[in-house]
Amino acid sequence: MSTAVDTLKIYERLKAANLDDKAAKEIAEVFKEAESLRLEELATKADIARLEGDIKLLKWMMGAVLAGIISLMLKAFFA
């Protein structure tokens, strides 16, 4: 999932709006950096698969704990 920022198009539009060369280049680079930072924060399929496995494990652990608590409660009330 890679999207590229067209810095040349940004630069040309800024130049067409009468912005000086140095400022237009810098603004185009800022857009490129901002997009790369945003993409780095996205979760990959591997990240999601790992989290799904962790969630499944936690569900089983909670079920085991709940079963233990219920068995202790039944033992306390009916023993």
Residue 3 pLDDT: 62
Q: How far is 48 from 3, CA to CA, in rounded Å?
A: 20
pLDDT tens digit sequence for 32-52: 887 777 767 778 899 999 999
Report residue 29's pLDDT band, with 50, 70 and 90 as the boundaries. Answer: confident
> What is d(CA 71, CA 67) in angstroms, rounded to the nearest whole number?
6
